[in-house]
Amino acid sequence: MGNYERLELDFINRTLALIAQYESDLHQYEFEQQFNYTLLINCLLGLIVLPKERTISYIPNERLTTEIKNSMGLFESFINPDIRELRELIIALRHAVAHFDINVVSNNENFLVDEIVFSDTSNGGVPNELVRFKSEELLPFIRYYASRLTRNIENYG
């Protein structure tokens, strides 16, 4: 493991590699010791917060049509209708991640992760729901966004 050649791009790629490494080793752990959603939320710092701070102009600015959402793997997740473009979504997620306005929802007695909710509580502490990811849709979304972002950095950076 060497130094970073291009910090932003390398950090994003290494964060994705970290997720892939964990996925390949996940089967070695008992179910109670599998922390894949903890890892994903931690990795949002490297995939959402850092890029927004350092490479905002490379964040894709495409409209969030049903077709694009489906390309992202978002079939059942909720995105606040006030958020119309991917860049707006990433900026909103950045604020939620940086301020830890994140909640995990379980719909069963075993407390399994069913949804991950990102909110904005800057309005007097009243949560405004930004995104409600179905648990199985967060990783495909992350991969879609990161691939689009890295492609933009590589092509235009």
CB 149 within 8 A of CB 51: yes
pLDDT band at 50 (very low <50, low <70, confident <90, very high): confident
Q: Which residue has the tokens 């075993």?
A: 110
Share of the chain above pLDDT 70, in %: 97
Residue 27 is predicted with a pLDDT of 78
Mean pLDDT value of segment 98-120? 91
Residue 2 is predicted with a pLDDT of 72
With a CB cutoff of 8 Å and minimum separation 6, the contacts of 95 are: 101, 120, 122
In the DSSP assignment, the letter for residue 6 is S
CB 73 within 8 A of CB 144: yes
| pTM reported for the whole predicted model | 0.87
The pLDDT of residue 68 is above 80: yes
